[in-house]
Structure 1
Amino acid sequence: MKTYGIDLMVTIANRNRIEKFIQLYREHGMSFNITAFGRGTASSDVLKFLGLDASEKAILFSAVSRTRSREVIRDAILKTRIDVPGNGILMTIPLSAAGGGRCIQYLTQGQEKEGENLMKNLQEEVRKESEEKKEETFNPSFHLIIAITNEGYSDQVMDAARSVGASGGTIVRAKGTDKATAEKFFGVSLAAEKEMVFIVAKAKERNVIMSEIIRQAGMDSDAKSIVFSLPVDRIAGLRLLEDDDSSL
């Protein structure tokens, strides 16, 4: 499976600690940071195993170039002690697709001096991965499509997705955190209220769904949506699996 040289960094921590991570990521030039809030529901035994407690949580979604992710994680361990039980969880997930060059630049602005160099580096990384991996070890049957859109436009995103066969999705309200670069990139405010739309799609349907979202609700629309996808390893509980039991 080819990747785009970009990782989605997911940080889960107590709400009163999440600002420390945001500041750390900004120091590494990571300007794309979206925060959502929730509460843990796992049993006490599971929470103990994960090193978490039952207090209210914040989930921070950040984008980081593959070349920087290891350095950022090392710095997070050093400065936030996230490796200590109770301090949170940090993970990275490779993007399996991105909605065009502008989306890639948007996700990683501040991490590269020039957009042209970024695109060249990403293309070279994909080429090397393709050469090194003659036999793919992971070809996901499903992908999680994530669209981040301006508040009030999630229905427009879902209408676009459904028009080409998407069965449904989940909408989460969130907020951008980078006020310093608000309204700086293609007129998109990074600090405004956002809505995140999560759609699970078959691999063969991913591209057409993403393309339609971009066409109807992309950067050139009032929705100002950015769209990317993540590979799904295993999945359960969706009716679409009835036609593809081999995915389990």
Structure 2
Amino acid sequence: MLQETQDPKRHKLVFTVVKKGAASKVIAAARTAGAEGATTLPGLGTAPPGTYTFWGIDMGPEKEIVIIMARADVAHDVFTAIRRILKLHRPGSGISFTLDLLYLAGCVHMGRKTHKLPRKTTTSETMQPTDTYDLIVTIVNDGFSGDVIDASRQAGAEGGTIMHGRGSGIHETGKLFSLNIEPEKEIVFTLVPRTISERVLQTIIEKTQLNEPGKGIAFMIEVEDVAGIAHKLTEE
């Protein structure tokens, strides 16, 4: 049973995707703003055929994913510090958004939603309703991330970020949002407008056969603040 995290322990995740080598700058800015810790993961960018950018980032084979834990009362300051240090209003500089750990928007296992919690009714003061986004996280067996990307594009998404679950040690097992990630797994992060998020999620489930045991899992989280989608958003 899911329980709400009570306020002095309530935390958020600040999720940032940057070019390789920029993670240290993100972490330094976040710590100065009050963040408690950070984890950096390697990632790959993808984009629709014929384009050279993904989420406003110049396409290259290597990205860094920085996942920062911050108390709810300082999370916005951390996000603002990252946005400023990376100059996220400029195309190609990166992307950053916050995730509230209080609610899980959806979780899919073997083709059915096992947990569904109500959406929040409020949005950031700096965002319009049409600017709201959801994050779909899909964990599949090694080699199947391309199927997830293809399915999401078919449903209207523009791309995704792929993270390989293998650790540096042969027997190492990592964790993502308290889920065990065995060495031979791939995690696909897909940030999509809320207006199409359920359609994208359902297409991923159908096209990658997540309703069959052992194929993988997917879940969706509401995104609160977004910066760095240069063709979608403008700096306030």
Structure with the higher strand share, 1 or 2: 2
Q: Which has a greater percent of helix?
A: 1
TM-score scaled by length of structure 2: 0.48
